[in-house]
Amino acid sequence: MPDPTAPALWPGAEALTLAGQRPLQDPLQSYLASLPSPRSRQTVMERLRAVARLVEIEDTAAFPWHQLRFQHIDYIRARLIEKDPATDNRCSPATVNLTLAALRGIARYARNYNLMSDEEYRRIWPRISVAVCDTKTHR
């Protein structure tokens, strides 16, 4: 469990709180239910676990996905694109795009459930809708 007295490791991390409650309509579960197959759900959950690890949250289900805002998306997107210094690897463009698509789907449900305002949704849209292309193949 992360130390609540530790300084925030990423911009706006302190704004992501559960306050001991889950939203009545969970955008994560709704998005996963909308996917066409168990394999799709498994793949998306793998990407969301990677996002949770980026922000040092162990329990993906407890992550307050509906509270992600522009600064959080910007941080997550940048970390996905940059090279991991420990392994000298980076995510493939397809992996980054899949991850952004999952965040986009969750944000859409959060907005539809009134857990995110239209204004907040419009603010994050440019960061989660821009695909990352492969510079070798230009795809």
Side-chain-side CA neighbours of 28 within 13 Å: the count stands at 19
- The pLDDT, as a whole number, for residue 139 is 47
Residue 84 β-bridge partners: 89
Q: What's the CA gap between 124 and 45, in Å, rounded?
A: 21
Q: What is the pLDDT along the chain (139 residues), one digit of tens a residue?
A: 444 544 444 555 555 554 444 545 889 999 999 999 999 999 999 999 999 988 888 888 888 888 998 899 889 988 888 866 666 677 888 888 999 999 999 999 999 999 999 999 999 888 777 666 655 554 4
Rg, the chain, Cα only: 15
Residue boundaries of the structural domains of the chain? 24-129
Q: What is the pLDDT of residue 131?
A: 64
Place of tokens 């759900």: 41
Q: Residue 51: what are its φ and ψ, rounded to 5°? A: -65, -45
**Cα-based distances in Å from 105 to 41, 95, 98, 131, 135:** 12, 15, 11, 14, 26
- pTM metric for this prediction: 0.75
| Helix/strand/coil for 100 | helix
Q: Note the pLDDT of residue 85.
A: 60
